[in-house]
Structure 1
Amino acid sequence: MTIFRFELALLVLAAIPSSGAAARQSIGASCDNVDPFVERECVDRRIEAKKRRLASLYTEALTAVRGNFARYGSQDNRSNPDYLMRSQMSWTQFVDNDCKVQAAFGGGSNSSISERETGCYEDALDRRIEFLEQLADGSFGTG
């Protein structure tokens, strides 16, 4: 009887997910269908990774724009890298303000407004990353 109880206890303990591996396994690539707190952490990690990618791409894009400006700047001053630097600062401020407005005017609870704001911000990050990738690899405006 004692052995049975011990085995039952082990079985129950084995079925309880640990906070580490099981949580990571349940998250997967997307952050859907999980505990709301785990979901927020997952989305935060995904956004932080995109922000790091954006910063890296911005440096690459700026280097590419500077190279093009050195070659062709005398023919067209609009390719001046200063415009990209100003654009990036303005984009950051615009997205912050625009996503707040879009999220707030949808109404709902604080958490739903926050989720809409986060979704808006992540979508904007995706679009900006795509733009900077194209600047960095020279494919912007070629097709």
Structure 2
Amino acid sequence: MAIAVSVLGTGCGLGPTKTEVCADWVQFQDPQDQFDKAGLVAVGMPVRQEGETSIYGYTARTHVVEVETVLKGEPGQETILVSSMPQTCTGGESYPDGDPLDTTQRVLIFATEQDNQWFTMTPGQGVVPFEQGTPLPFQSS
């Protein structure tokens, strides 16, 4: 996963300033590009939130996901833990538009492994609703 990290300083020189680490998330051109760069691609159903972890100084919610089909990678189990990659530069709020794994829908997950934990690849493109019978938007090998 390629991200660029920038530092945003706020304040006007009159006292302490707040520094926030921001990630400029890669925007994948198409689902095939995203599939090719993912460490894990799976169809599954989020079951419940199971704690939190931290990445880039933000809180990431960790979810139990029942894996239906593994399209790429080796998660090692039928039920796995996946953390939703939080947005950055939001004033400390990890999911201003909602946590994409906080759903009861079947989803397609594009994930990467960081420090022995699965994270969605990006906040906006890591989880896609995926109904039964929908054709895959990429070629799996």
- TM-score normalised by structure 2 residue count: 0.24
- Greater Rg, structure 1 or structure 2? 1
Which protein is richer in strand relative to its size?
Answer: 2
- TM-score normalised by structure 1 residue count: 0.23
Which protein is richer in helix relative to its size?
Answer: 1
